[in-house]
């Protein structure tokens, strides 16, 4: 679960946040992580109390059409996340080989390493979790090394983290703040976490044991997200201290003095430096030596490799839950990896690393759009007394969760609108308007069901329960067990 907060998409959002806004947006990162923690708590509670993960609950509670539509949206998010992991690994291999491994070569290598994880999976979930722990440690050490090397102002880090302030932020910085929320809270991670808790044995007939399990899963989530938050802070602080406010010309001069082979990345002008995962590694090498570049690449590689398997697991649980299909993990990986690698490979062959980074930005927008299809169902089902019994959300979580979901969805819709308007194509505006009507209609339908579950509709309680039974296909738990 921690890995999904450290994938290449998150890392790119972190470094751009530091380079564009300095330390000003660290409080946004902290807030997004706390919101993510509360959502993960709901996901874990659903799995612990019901013995089913979110996709399985969607299968039994929603009718066929919304269920299939939900499945398609979540699959789209998983494929988009998988593409980001492939892009991150390809860029890492290019940096580590000093350009000798082409981008398409790095993409192809990621096909092989996926099957290595499948072999490792045969030795049991605990060993796989231990391997993930090693990869997270690699990220902590590599990005921690960059943090120590750059030595950012600790007072500025703490001030940016705990004192919300963006009064002088421009449109680019505000857009970056929105992007942080979209990158941190991943839709497929909600589905994944609700399934992973089932790997622990809990006696669901014992209410005390269920309550205890919920408590310890929440503590575990706090620890996991604290570690991922610290690593994200390392990345933001490094680029805030070293590259905030720098121009392309400054970077060009420094890279020229160090004999860098990547001078073409920095045009000779006084425009503010814009960085991505690839350029970030290059500028670190120019300013802090080759070791900083290679250590950065190792951290990116660890992030891409580890998040590969989370996408695989998410896809497995989502397909089995929504469609009740039992594919082998090999067949599942072959399908999703092919869908993710094919467009990425074409871009890597016929374009350059800049277009690959542009694809990464587009994928962040795509996953922002999919967010309501995880947040609304998890809030809906954890609020149903017929499903959660005594562990249904109380008033605080109903109101707070509803406002959180509304806020996150509005933020991400704003992010998407700004992204589309920057493209400047009339045909894209028309297409976006048509798709938006369908999208908002489906989100509105799910929201209506959520309001019924929350007990906030205008119907009287008895009528409300009757409508919920008709729409959400409420069935007693015993029918599944």
User: DSSP secondary structure string, 246-280?
Assistant: -BHHHHHHHHHHTT-S-GGGS-SS-SBP---HHHH
Give 305 or 121, the one with higher predicted confidence: 305
Tell the burial category of 347 from Cβ atoms under 10 Å away from its Cβ (0-12, 13-18, 19+). buried
**Which residues does residue 272 pair with via DSSP β-bridges, in sequence order?**
247
Stretch 124-128: mean pLDDT, rounded? 76
**Residues in CB range of 39: below 8 A, 6 or more apart:** 185, 190, 375, 378, 404
Render pLDDT for 358-376 as a digit per residue (tens, 0 to 9): 676 677 777 777 888 998 9
CA distances from 370 to 29, 283, 403, 427 (A): 20, 33, 18, 23
> Helix crossing, 353-370 with 395-423: angle to 10°?
140
Render pLDDT for 198-248 as a digit per residue (tens, 0 to 9): 888 888 888 899 999 999 999 999 999 999 999 999 999 999 998 888 888
pLDDT confidence bin for 48, thresholds 50/70/90: very high
Give 467 or 152, the one with higher predicted confidence: 152
Instruction: Name which of 334, 285, 283 is nearest 82 in CA terms.
Output: 334
What percentage of the chain has pLDDT greater than the value 70?
87
Q: What is the pLDDT of residue 159?
A: 92
Give 34 or 351, the one with higher predicted confidence: 34
300, pLDDT greater than 80: yes
CB 229 within 8 A of CB 30: yes
Q: Distance between CA atoms of 450 and 460, rounded to whole angstroms?
A: 16
Q: What is the pLDDT of residue 16?
A: 86
pTM of the entire predicted model: 0.86
Long-range contacts of 395-398 (CB under 8 A, 24+ apart): 397/42, 398/454, 398/455, 398/456
Q: Distance between CA atoms of 324 and 73, rounded to whole angstroms?
A: 17
Q: Distance between CA atoms of 327 and 324, rounded to whole angstroms?
A: 10
Q: Mean pLDDT for the chain? A: 82
Q: Distance between CA atoms of 317 and 54, rounded to whole angstroms?
A: 9
Render pLDDT for 307-343 as a digit per residue (tens, 0 to 9): 777 777 787 788 888 887 777 767 776 776 677 677 7
Element (H, E) at 353: helix 353-370
Question: Percentage helix, strand, coil, to 5, in the chain?
Answer: 80, 0, 20
473, pLDDT greater than 50: yes
Q: Which of 52-56, 330-334, 465-469 has the lowest mean pLDDT?
A: 465-469
CB 364 within 8 A of CB 179: yes
467, pLDDT greater than 70: no
Phi/psi at 236 (5° precision): -60, -45
353, pLDDT greater than 70: no
- Cα 100 to chain centroid distance, Å, stands at 30
Per domain, the residue ranges of the chain are 3-362
Stretch 450-464: mean pLDDT, rounded? 59
Q: What is the pLDDT of residue 295?
A: 93
Go through 259-270 and write b for each residue having 16 or more CB atoms within 10 A of its CB, e for each that does not.
ebebbebbeeee
CB neighbours (10 Å) of residue 335? 15
pLDDT confidence bin for 424, thresholds 50/70/90: low
Render pLDDT for 150-207 as a digit per residue (tens, 0 to 9): 999 999 999 999 988 765 566 667 777 777 877 788 888 899 889 888 888 888 888 8
**Which residues does residue 247 pair with via DSSP β-bridges, in sequence order?**
272
Compute and round to an integer the Cα radius of gyration of the chain: 23
> Helix crossing, 64-96 with 103-121: angle to 10°?
120
Q: Which of 138-152, 379-393, 407-421 has the lowest mean pLDDT?
A: 407-421
Q: What is the CATH number of domain 3-362?
A: 1.20.1740
Give, rounded to a whole angstrom, the gap between the first and last alpha carbons of the chain. 27
Stretch 292-319: mean pLDDT, rounded? 84
458, pLDDT greater than 50: no
Q: Distance between CA atoms of 471 and 119, rounded to whole angstroms?
A: 43
Q: List the alpha helices (DSSP H) in 122-162.
A: 125-150, 154-162
Q: Distance between CA atoms of 427 and 256, rounded to whole angstroms?
A: 43
Q: Which of 68-77, 82-91, 250-259, 409-418 has the lowest mean pLDDT?
A: 409-418
pLDDT confidence bin for 392, thresholds 50/70/90: confident
Q: What is the pLDDT of residue 297?
A: 92
Q: What is the pLDDT of residue 451?
A: 83
Q: Distance between CA atoms of 52 and 196, rounded to whole angstroms?
A: 10
Q: What is the pLDDT of residue 356?
A: 66
Instruction: Name which of 148, 157, 146 is nearest 284 in CA terms.
Output: 146
Q: How many Cα neighbours within 13 Å face the side chain of 395?
A: 0
Sequence-ordered strand ranges (E) for 312-465? none
Give 219 or 398, the one with higher predicted confidence: 219
Q: Distance between CA atoms of 324 and 421, rounded to whole angstroms?
A: 40
Tell the burial category of 311 from Cβ atoms under 10 Å away from its Cβ (0-12, 13-18, 19+). buried
Q: What is the pLDDT of residue 41?
A: 92
450, pLDDT greater than 80: yes
């Amino acid at each position: 679960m921690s890995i999904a907060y450290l994938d290449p998409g998150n890392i790119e959002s972190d470094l751009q946040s530091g380079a564009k806004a300095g330390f000003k947006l660290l409080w946004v990162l902290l807030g997004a992580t706390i919101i993510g923690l509360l959502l993960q708590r709901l996901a874990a509670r659903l799995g612990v109390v019901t013995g089913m993960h979110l996709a399985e609950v969607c299968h039994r509670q929603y009718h066929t059409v919304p269920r299939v539509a939900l499945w398609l949206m979540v699959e789209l998010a998983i494929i988009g996340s998988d593409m980001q992991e492939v892009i991150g690994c390809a860029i890492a291999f290019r940096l580590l080989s000093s350009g000798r491994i082409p981008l398409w070569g790095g993409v192809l290598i990621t096909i092989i390493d996926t099957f290595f994880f499948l072999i490792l999976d045969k030795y049991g979930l605990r060993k796989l979790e231990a391997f993930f722990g090693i990869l997270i440690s690699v990220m902590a050490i590599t990005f921690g090394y960059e943090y120590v090397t750059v030595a950012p102002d600790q007072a500025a880090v703490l001030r940016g983290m705990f004192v919300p302030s963006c009064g002088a932020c421009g449109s680019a910085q505000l857009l970056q703040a929105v992007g942080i929320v979209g990158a941190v809270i991943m839709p497929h991670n909600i589905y994944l976490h609700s399934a992973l808790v089932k790997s622990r044995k809990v006696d669901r007939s014992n209410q005390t044991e269920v309550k205890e399990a919920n408590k310890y899963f929440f503590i575990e989530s706090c620890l996991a997200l604290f570690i991922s938050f610290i690593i994200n802070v390392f990345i933001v602080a490094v680029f805030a201290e070293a590259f905030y406010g720098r121009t392309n010309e400054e970077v060009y001069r420094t890279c020229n003095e160090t004999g860098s082979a990547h001078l073409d990345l920095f045009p000779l002008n006084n425009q503010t430096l814009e960085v991505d995962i690839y350029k970030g590694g290059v500028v670190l090498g120019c300013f802090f030596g080759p070791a900083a570049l290679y250590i950065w690449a190792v951290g990116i590689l660890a992030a891409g490799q580890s998040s590969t398997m989370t996408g695989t697991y998410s896809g497995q649980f989502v397909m089995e839950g929504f469609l009740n299909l039992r594919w082998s993990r090999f067949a599942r990986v072959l399908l999703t990896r092919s869908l993710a690698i094919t467009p990425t490979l074409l871009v890597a062959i016929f374009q350059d690393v800049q277009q690959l980074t542009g694809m990464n930005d587009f994928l962040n927008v795509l996953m922002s759009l999919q967010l309501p299809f995880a947040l609304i169902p998890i809030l809906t089902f954890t609020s149903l007394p017929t499903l959660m019994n005594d562990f249904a959300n109380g008033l605080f979580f109903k109101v707070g969760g509803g406002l959180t979901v509304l806020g996150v969805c509005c933020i991400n819709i704003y992010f998407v609108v700004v992204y589309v308007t920057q493209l400047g194509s009339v045909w894209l505006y028309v297409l976006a308007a048509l798709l938006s009507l369908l999208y908002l209609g489906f989100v509105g339908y799910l929201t209506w069901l959520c309001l019924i579950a929350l007990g906030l509709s205008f119907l009287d309680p008895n009528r409300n329960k009757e409508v919920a039974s008709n729409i959400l296909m409420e069935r007693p738990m015993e029918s599944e067990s």
